[in-house]
Each structure stands twice: as C-alpha cells, then as structure tokens.
C-alpha cells in the first residue's frame, strides 16, 4: 500500500510597497527556508505554489504536514522582497483546498 502523503495548504497575503510577482514571493520563501533550515530542511518541506492572485497579493502554497511549522516560521521571517520592505502573512492553513477556501472566505 502506498503511504498517504499528508499536506497542508497555506493561504498567504503579501504586504509590500511595490507590486510583487509570484516568482519573487516564492524566491523569498525559498531563500528564508534555506537560511533557517538549510538544503536538507528545505528538501523536507515539499513546498509548491498552488495558485497566485497578483492583483490582490494573495497566493496559496502547499507544504508537507510535518514541515508546517518550519514553513510558517520561514514565511514569517521574510522582511523584504526584491530589496524592498515586505511582509508575508499566513492568513489560513488547512488540509484541503476546499476547506482552506471556506476558512479564508469567512
């Protein structure tokens, strides 16, 4: 039997003085994970961008259930994107995209 992979979906909101692309946000998250946990830790996060809404500065990323706190800590440690002050707030976490959508809309 294949082992079930448990994942967590995180809705994030980027607050910055300038418009930021989804690529810049993902680069900033990867950089923060690498700084805090190194390449071994980064490999365990299984981080993926699921979708992004650059107009509203929202995005959804996915990580492994076991590395949720690491991913969250890394996202919280971001202080700049493209050299400009920026913050990435995690506005919701859930095990499925549907539940996340419900959580964020409420």
Residues that bind other proteins (CB under 8 A): 15, 35-36, 69-70, 72-73, 75-77, 79, 85-87, 89-90
Smallest distance, other proteins to C-beta of residue 86, A: 7
Smallest distance, other proteins to C-beta of residue 106, A: 14
Smallest distance, other proteins to C-beta of residue 79, A: 5
CA angle 59, 39, 41 (to 5 degrees): 70
Closer residue to other proteins in complex, CB, 3/68? 68
Residue 12, C-beta contacts closer than 8 angstroms, at least 6 positions apart: 25, 58, 59, 60, 61, 75, 88, 89, 90, 91
Using CA atoms, how far apart are residues 44 and 2, in angstroms rounded to an integer?
Answer: 18
Closer residue to other proteins in complex, CB, 76/99? 76
């Amino acid at each position: 039997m294949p082992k079930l992979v448990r994942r967590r979906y995180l809705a994030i909101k980027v607050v910055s003085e300038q418009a930021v692309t989804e690529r810049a946000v993902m680069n900033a998250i990867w950089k923060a994970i690498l700084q805090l946990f190194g390449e071994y830790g980064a490999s365990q996060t299984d981080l993926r961008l699921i979708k992004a809404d650059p107009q509203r500065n929202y995005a959804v990323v996915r990580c492994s259930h076991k590395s949720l706190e690491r991913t969250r800590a890394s996202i919280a440690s971001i202080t700049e994107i493209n050299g400009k002050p920026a913050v990435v707030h995690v506005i919701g976490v859930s095990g499925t995209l549907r539940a996340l959508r419900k959580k964020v809309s409420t």
